[in-house]
Amino acid sequence: MNATTPSATTPSTVAQNAQIRNALESALLAALVVAVSLWLVLTGDESGGVLRATFGGLGMGVGTIAHLAYVGVALQRAGRAVWPWVIAMVLVPGVSIVAMVLMSSALADAPAAAGEQAPRAE
């Protein structure tokens, strides 16, 4: 049987893929907040050093928690186990990148809209 599954392009699947993509984009934005906050802390000079360090540290903490939460939401919406990934993200740097790449590649393999076929290499 070479029939395609109709559930691969249903509107609910498309909506779910959009939700996963939104969670991944939010996770990337939270990682950007962490990077900017780290830059704020590292490039500080003596003027306003305490205030800069305080806001930089708060930004890194909030951004890290938000990043973990959004990657966890994306994992849950993709139907993957959340807690093993979250524990791995906390213990090993870079695991969130692996999780996001895996989910992004799974989204890229799925058709973008209902009724749309995946491009063929000829």
In the three-class reduction of DSSP (H, G, I as helix; E, B as strand; rest coil), residue 41 is classed as: helix
Radius of gyration of the chain (CA): 19
- Residues 15 and 85: their CA atoms lie apart, in Å, by 24
Question: Residue 108 — very low, low, confident or very high, per pLDDT cuts 50/70/90?
Answer: confident
List, for residues 55-71, the tens digit of each pLDDT value. 999 999 999 999 999 99
H or E segment to which residue 51 belongs:
helix 49-77
pLDDT for 113 equals 44
Closest CA to 5 of 110, 85, 122: 110
Domain span at residue 80? 13-109
Instruction: Find the mean pLDDT for residues 79-97.
Output: 90
Question: Residue 116 — very low, low, confident or very high, per pLDDT cuts 50/70/90?
Answer: low
List, for residues 1-53, the tens digit of each pLDDT value. 444 444 455 667 778 888 889 999 999 999 999 999 999 888 877 667 788 88
- Domain total for the chain? 1
Instruction: Find the mean pLDDT for residues 98-115.
Output: 74
108 burial class (0-12, 13-18, 19+ CB within 10 angstroms)?
Answer: exposed
Q: Is residue 115 part of a domain?
A: no
